[in-house]
Structure 1
Amino acid sequence: MEVASFMGKCILACCVMFFGVLLGMQQANNGMIEMKGYQDPDLKAALSISEGDAKEASVLGHQIDLEEKQKELEQLEAFNLFSSAGRALADSVTNTARSLYDWIKEKTE
C-alpha cells in the first residue's frame, strides 16, 4: 500500500512539473514579446495546433504536418524488428518465471 501511494505521489509530481515547464516556456515567450515592445513573427508559441484542410502543429516554431507523421508512423509500425524481438523476449521471460513459480509451488506443497 505504501509503494502505491509513493508511486502515485511521484507520478503526480512529475505531471505537475511537466505542465509547469510548458507554462514557463509560454510565459518566457510572452516576456520576450513584452521586452521587445512589438509582435515579432520570429518568436513562436511553445505549442500551437491549427485545424484546416490539413491538420498542422507547431512545436517551438517548427512546422509539423500531422497527417504526414501519421503515415510515417503507420509505415514504421508495419514491422519493427526491435518491437517484435522485445515482445518475444518478454513472453519467454514471463513463461519461464511462471513455470519456475509453479515448480517451486509444487515442491513446497
Structure 2
Amino acid sequence: MKLFMLKSVGIAALMLISVLTGMQLANNGIHKMKGYDDPNFHQAVSLNDTDNHISASILGNDISSHDIEAKKKKLEEISAYNFFSSMGKKMSDGISNASENLIQKITK
C-alpha cells in the first residue's frame, strides 16, 4: 500500500511539473509567434533569487513563504466550519454502520 501511494504521489508530482512546463513552452511559443514582448503575458513559472530571498511567481501571482505562513495563521484563527465536509463525514459514518449491521445480520 505504501509503495502504491508513493507511486501515485510521484506520478501526480510529475504531471504537475509537466503541466507547468507545457504552459511555459506555450507562453514562449506565443512570444515567438507575436514577434514582440507584450507586458500582459507573464511567465508561467519564474523564480527570482536576490540576497538570500527567493521569490516565486506562478501565472503572474507572486508567492513567498511569508505569504503562506500568514495565510496559515489566518486559517488557524478562523477555524472555519465546512458544512459539506461534516455532511460527508456523517454520510460515510452512516453508510459504514449500515453496511456493518447488514454484514453482521447476514453472517449470523
- Do they superpose with TM above 0.5? yes
Change (3 A) 1:59 1:50: same
| 1:62 corresponding residue in structure 2 | 61
Of 39, 47, 54, the residue aligned with 2:45 is 47
**Pair 1:23-2:25 in alignment:** no
Query: Which residue in 2 is equivalent to 1:4?
Result: none
Aligned with residue 85 of structure 1, among 77, 84, 87: 87
AA aligned opposite 1:59? I
The aligned counterpart of 2:107 is 105
TM-score by length of 1: 0.55
Q: Match of 1:58, SS?
A: strand
Alpha-carbon shift at residue 91 of structure 1 (Å): 0.7
Aligned residues: CA RMSD? 3.9
Aligned partners of 1:48 and 1:58 also within 8 Å: yes
Q: Provide structure 2 residue ranges, at least 5 long, that are not aligned to the other structure.
A: 1-6
Matched residues in 2 for 1:34 and 1:50: separation? 23
**Residues in 1 aligned to 2:41 and 2:91: alpha-carbon distance in whole angstroms:** 47
1:3-14 equivalences under 5 Å are: none
How many angstroms does 1:29 deviate by? 1.5
The percentage of counterpart residues that share the same residue type is 41
